[in-house]
Amino acid sequence: MADIAVDLGASDILSLGGSFIAQNTTASVSQEHAEMLKANGDFQKLSSVFNIETAINAVYKFSEDTGLGAALPSVGSVSGSYLITSCRIDTVNNDYPTITLTAHNHSENLHTTGNEYAVPADMQAIATGAYGAYDWAGLGGAAIACIRSSYELRCDHIEQNGETGNHWVGTSVKGMEELSCEYSGNIANPPTISGWTVETSELADSNEEHDTSSVSAVRIVARTE
């Protein structure tokens, strides 16, 4: 008996193309309906479904050792028919970066590109595409090595539904960056990162492993249009 014809392979659902290599994608559909009750408390009827939304979580790798930062899509932009609201890069010292994009769209009044927030030039320069941990905070040195990190550019997206409950309009606002870095060795506690607001920092000291430290910080991003 031949194998069942079930697809194995990841699709570039956001149509990034170029050097982006799709790893896995999740597409989740949600929808609503109205309910009416009888006088005795049982259900009388249900409406047809409305407010149908497809939410996308797409994971990529980047095939080049340079150029990742400049190739990243802006949040608030539409790519592959979906509005991107988050772009996250996770790095570790023994692997290539993992890029995760969150996006969505609706069955009615589909989103088009509106307010956009692009990855700033200083973060683009760090996001080369090469393997290894990226020191987004810039706190590493001769005795301090970044071993794991993440960077996320995101925006809020405010929706409004129309008279029959279907999507009517949406606007992207509140562009924000967030970084998180873990180090082998001790950074200052609390550290200073120029232009960023540090939210948390930690030093970890143990008799069974090398000292580690970590930091997380946020920064406001201006609209690009």
Look at residue 7 in the predicted model and tell me its pLDDT.
72
- The mean predicted confidence, pLDDT, of the chain is 94
Percent of the chain with pLDDT over 90: 88
pLDDT at 208 over 90: no
pLDDT band at 207 (very low <50, low <70, confident <90, very high): confident
For residue 218, give the amino acid letter.
V
For 15, which DSSP code? Answer: -
The answer to whether 148 and 216 have CB atoms below 8 angstroms apart is: no
Residue (of 195, 73, 125) closest to 134 by Cα position: 125
Look at residue 89 in the predicted model and tell me its pLDDT.
98
Question: Torsion over CA of 31, 37, 42 and 45, rounded to 10 degrees?
Answer: -50
The answer to whether 34 and 44 have CB atoms below 8 angstroms apart is: no
Of 81-95, 117-131, 172-186, 202-216, least confident by mean pLDDT is 202-216
Buried b (16+ CB within 10 A) or exposed e, 48-80: eebbebbebbbbbbbeeeebbbebbbbbbbbbb
Entry pTM: 0.92
The answer to whether 117 and 171 have CB atoms below 8 angstroms apart is: no
pLDDT per residue as tens digits for the range 31-79 = 999 999 999 999 999 999 999 999 999 999 999 999 999 999 999 999 9
The answer to whether 115 and 76 have CB atoms below 8 angstroms apart is: yes
Q: Which two tokens stand for residue 164?
A: 């029959």
